[in-house]
A and B are shown apart, each in its own frame.
Chain A
Amino acid sequence: DQQVKQNSPSLSVQEGRISILNCDYTNSMFDYFLWYKKYPAEGPTFLISISSIKDKNEDGRFTVFLNKSAKHLSLHIVPSQPGDSAVYFCAAVQGGSEKLVFGKGTKLTVNP
């Protein structure tokens, strides 16, 4: 039973364009969501997070949108850069717990 789903295993975009990574969740008790970026054989690097009381959070080129009614969040990267090429993981956490539940990841490739 996968509570956090990233349905696109891969995404390819041109440099300078927008990258949109999507994530769906099933557990309505999740109240905090995070995006991590990961390179092979390295630990995930935190990118941006959002609390369930908000519907948008922005940090530089990264914006996360949360649609609670649809149980859906997305990460927008504008403009995309070749250095953004990595695997992006969506994670969710419930009620003060430290237990992160991860999606399977989306491999983003930004072409020069």
Chain B
Amino acid sequence: KAGVTQTPRYLIKTRGQQVTLSCSPISGHRSVSWYQQTPGQGLQFLFEYFSETQRNKGNFPGRFSGRQFSNSRSEMNVSTLELGDSALYLCASSSGTGEETQYFGPGTRLLVL
């Protein structure tokens, strides 16, 4: 089985712009979660989608949003980028039935200038 894939792998944006990141889960997985990793805050949960519905949300501002498509692929959008949004954005997938392993993609490195 192919693993979780994320595109693009690297991205450079300027303050005020918006960005869309994409994640394709492992085949058969219906849950996609997004995480942000920064040196200061570590790995933090952004949100989780299951069957095209947001099921869980972390403590991030409304500038961070996402969606999931019928094929379980997910996108994450960040609007009005700030310097502090520079981070590694990770996507993870699982079957979504609880108490099970989430498998991570390679991440998208976002640099905001």
Give the B-binding residues of A (Cβ under 8 A): 31-32, 34, 36, 41-46, 49, 51, 89, 91, 93, 95-105
- Is A42's CB under 8 angstroms from B106's CB? yes
Please give, as numbers and ranges, the residues of chain B lying within 8 Å of A89 by CB-CB distance.
43
The chain A residue with its CB closest to the CB of B99 is: A32
In the complex, the chain B residue whose C-beta lies closest to that of A41 is B109
Q: Are A43 and B98 closer than 8 Å at their CB atoms?
A: no
Residue B31 interfacial (CB < 8 Å): yes
Q: How many A-B residue pairs have CB under 8 A?
A: 67
Closest 9 CB pairs of A and B: A96-B98, A43-B104, A102-B43, A98-B48, A104-B42, A32-B99, A44-B104, A99-B45, A99-B56
The CA of A49 and the CA of B102, in the complex, are separated in Å by: 11
With CB as the reference atom, state the residue of chain A lying closest to B55: A98
Partner of A43, one of B45, B50, B106: B106
A13 nearest CB across to chain B (Å): 23
Report chain A residues within 8 Å CB of B66.
Answer: none
Q: Residue B31 contacts which of A41, A42, A98, A102 (CB distance < 8 angstroms)? A: A98
Set of chain A residues within 8 Å of B98, measured between Cβ atoms: 95-98
Identity of the chain A residue whose Cβ is nearest the Cβ of B58 in the assembled complex:
A99
A34→B101 contact, CB < 8 A:
yes
With a cutoff of 8 Å between Cβ atoms, the chain A residues found around residue B97 in the complex are 96
Contact pattern, B 66-106, Cβ under 8 Å of A = 1, otherwise 0: 00000000000000000000001010101011111111111
Q: Which of A34, A41, A102, A104 contacts B88 (CB 8 A)?
A: A41
Most buried by A among B45, B50, B97: B45
User: B96 to A98, Cβ gap below 8 A?
Assistant: yes
A96–B97 Cα distance when bound, in Å, is 7
The listed residue (A51, A98, A101, A104) touching B102 by CB distance below 8 A is A98
Q: Is the CB of B107 within 8 A of A100?
A: no
